[in-house]
């Protein structure tokens, strides 16, 4: 465990989270959310939770993002906030 990496990833995670919520384009938000999940996955891998990281990589960064995109595709892409 290298705490500098840990800290850097933590900061990035927070940035991605805020970004995903701030972007008005929902496709962009979905992609940022995917990035957030992926960073989360890195964080867990760093902590040694390999199984959780693996799951998050496939579920969170993978399928969830696709679900978001599919839903956005079927509804509306613009958001007021």
Partner 1 sequence: MKLISLALVVLLGGLFMAATADFPDWGDPASPASVHVSPRYIEKTMEETSVPNIVTAVLADYRGYDTMFETAVVFTAGVACFLLLRRRDPRPGPERIYRHQATGVIVEMRHKPAKEPAGEVFARIDDDWVPHDLIIMNVCRLLIPFIQLFGLYVIAHGHHSPGGGFQGGVILGASIILLALSWDLRTAMGRLSEAATGLMSAVGVFIYAGVGAMCLAMGSNFLDYEALGPLMFVDPVHARSLGIFFVELGVGLAVMATMVLIYKNLASEGRLDQGL
Partner 2 sequence: MDMAQYIPVLLTKYNYWVYITLMMIGLWAMIAKNNLVKKIIGMSIFQTAIILFYVSIGAKYGATIPILRHGHNGAHEAIRTVDYINPLPHVLMLTAIVVSVATLGVALALSIRIHRRHRTLEEDDILTQLREP
Q: Output 36 or 60, the one with its CB closest to partner 1.
A: 60
What does the alpha-carbon distance between residue 23 and residue 14 come to, in Å, rounded to a whole number?
Answer: 14
Q: Output 5 or 50, the one with its CB closest to partner 1.
A: 50
Contacts of 6 (CB under 8 A, 6+ apart): 43, 46
Q: Taking CB under 8 A as the rule, does residue 11 contact partner 1?
A: no
Exposed (0-12), middle (13-18) or buried (19+): which is 34, by Cβ within 10 Å?
buried
Q: Taking CB under 8 A as the rule, does residue 28 contact partner 1?
A: no
Among 33, 35, 38, 42, binds partner 2 (CB under 8 A): 33
Q: Taking CB under 8 A as the rule, does residue 53 contact partner 1?
A: yes
């Amino acid at each position: 465990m290298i705490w500098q990496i840990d800290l850097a990833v933590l900061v990035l995670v927070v940035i991605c989270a805020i970004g995903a919520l701030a972007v008005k384009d929902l496709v962009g938000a979905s992609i940022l959310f995917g990035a957030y999940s992926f960073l989360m996955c890195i964080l867990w891998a760093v902590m040694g939770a390999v199984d959780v990281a693996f799951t998050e990589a496939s579920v969170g960064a993978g399928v969830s993002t696709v679900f978001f995109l599919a839903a956005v595709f079927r509804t509306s892409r613009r958001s007021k906030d």
